[in-house]
Amino acid sequence: MGETRDHLGRPVVAVTGYGMISSLGQGVTDSWAGLIAGRSGIKPISRFPTQNMRTTIAGAIDYLWQDGDTAMDITMRAGILAAEEAIADANIGSPGDFPGPLFAAMPPAEMEWPYRKKIYRDAPAVGTDAYDRMIAAARKTNDDDAYHHTLLGFIAAGIAEKIGTRGAPISLTTACASGATAIQLGAEAIRRGDTDAAISIGADCSVNPEMMIRFALLSALSGTNEPPTEVSRPFSKDRDGFVIAEGAAALVLENYDVAKARGAKIHGIIRGIGEKADDFHRTRSKPDGSAIIGAIRTTIADAGIAPEEIDYINAHGTSTPENDKMESMSLEAVLGEAMKKTPISSNKSMIGHTLTAAGAIEATFSIKTIEEGVLPPTINYTPDPDIPFDVVPNAARNQQVATVLSNSFGFGGQNACLVITAEPA
């Protein structure tokens, strides 16, 4: 075992199991079927009142929600469902006993409105402003539930307990790059020889009033609303913001030789991983695109391939004016003339933007693209002369693919990319 190496002499990292929950359905099969059919999972929000809100639609997964839930509660449920599907698909370990560590991408931990309202209700009525009153009351409150819901590791600990991973679970958040970062950390652990298996999860179920208001204040969300299924328009001339959504994806990663020895099915190979930070602005990318360009180049170099070997690009493609133009500009800088014939599409046109889960969900869709020989479309597309690329407009396309670049770019300048390939012949 351990004889198969990549171009830098490292163990090859295989994907042997995947699981997903999205606005298109529960499970990889249903989500993929909806995706290649060009179906949208975006709908009006029904979980809470939206009167006077600029944005009233989302890709919410309402059947996971119960009255009084926080985003942490729903996110944990989604993460567990995705993890259980991935582990069953990989046929690894036994129930509640996964033979490796957990790397979990999740929303930032914070005290959410249900607990703020509860604490504020008991706060002193005089003497300080509202925030100080809440903090003063929180210091006097012995509420175990509120405490646990504000721990960074709350979600990862719950998932780890359910599926029985090894060691302390790793919790991480790198904004909208988080899902890809979780895969990167799992792959690096296997490459270093720390473990023969790992499970990487991205999960985010943050459709709540506070998150909607925050992104609206940043002018990041579309305010179009009608019709909901046509609002997310990546790379389109008339794009005006992203649509927030919920979801989760889990990937079982293994040392390729160990997986082959136990007879596991190989879905794909995590061949290249890379990241590069951008310190220009909290929400905007550096105008010259250098950080995104650097992340793409680092990933391609890590994979040991030439840019022209990329058969398809699973774009970050958020449907915001700036992101889509910056991503296309950066890809052209790296791929050059090859970009004119390399298809690129964004599944956010159908499932919305799943925030910290996006990188893991899109990696899973990238693997399915390789396995099925079908390129997911970019729906709701109107050509933009400033982005003159093949965006697989409006309908899926049959095309054999061996190498995919999957991009994930987050607020705060956190950029991570993956090169995913078919199993070596």
For residues 41 and 424, the model is more confident at: 41
Using pLDDT thresholds of 50, 70 and 90, give the confidence band for residue 145. confident
Q: Give the number of other Cβ atoms within 10 Å of residue 52's Cβ.
A: 6
* Token duo for residue 317: 């493609």
Confidence band, pLDDT 50/70/90 cuts, at residue 2? very low
Lowest mean pLDDT among 75-84, 123-132, 259-268, 401-410: 123-132
> Residue 163: its pLDDT value, please?
98
Cα 396 to Cα 261: distance, rounded to the nearest angstrom: 36
Query: pTM for this structure?
Result: 0.94
Query: 176 catalytic, yes or no?
Result: yes
Identity of the residue numbered 350:
M
User: In this structure, are residues 389 and 237 in contact, taking their beta carbons and an 8 Å threshold?
Assistant: no
Tell me the pLDDT of the chain averaged across its residues: 92
**167 pLDDT exceeds 60?**
yes
Residue 126 has pLDDT above 60, yes or no: no
Q: Is the CB of residue 420 less than 8 Å from the CB of residue 370?
A: yes
Selection from 83, 66, 70, 109 nearest residue 21 by Cα = 83
pLDDT beyond 90 at 78: yes
Mean pLDDT (whole number) for 346-369: 98
Share of the chain above pLDDT 70, in %: 91
316 is catalytic: yes
pLDDT of residue 283: 66
The whole-number average pLDDT for the span 200-209 is: 96
Tens of pLDDT, residue by residue over 313-343, are 999 999 999 999 999 999 999 999 999 899 9
Between the alpha carbon of residue 216 and those of residues 55, 70, 94, 219, 292, the distances in Å are 7, 20, 44, 5, 24
**In this predicted structure, what is the pLDDT of residue 111?**
73
The single residue of 176, 205, 267, 417 carrying the catalytic annotation is 176
Enter the tokens of residue 297. 């180049």
Beta partners for residue 275, in sequence order:
416
CB 275 within 8 A of CB 415: yes
Letter for the amino acid at 61? I
Read out DSSP for 197-209?
EEEEEEEE---SH
- Return the sign of the alpha-carbon dihedral for residues 348, 71, 110, 132: positive
Q: What is the pLDDT of residues 20-38, one digit of tens each?
A: 999 999 999 999 999 999 9
Tokens linked to 16: 């042997």
- Give DSSP secondary structure letters for 95-132: TTB-SS-EEEE-PPP---HHHHHHHHHTS-SSSS-HHH
For residue 144, name the pLDDT band (cuts at 50, 70, 90): confident
pLDDT for the residue 68 = 82
Distance CA 75, CA 155 (A): 7
Q: Indicate which residue of 149, 205, 267, 316 is catalytic.
A: 316
The owner of tokens 């180049």 is 297
Lowest mean pLDDT among 115-129, 241-255, 292-306: 115-129
What pLDDT, on a 0 to 100 scale, did the predictor assign at position 67? Answer: 86
Catalytic residue chosen out of the listed positions 149, 205, 267, 353:
353
pLDDT at 231: 98
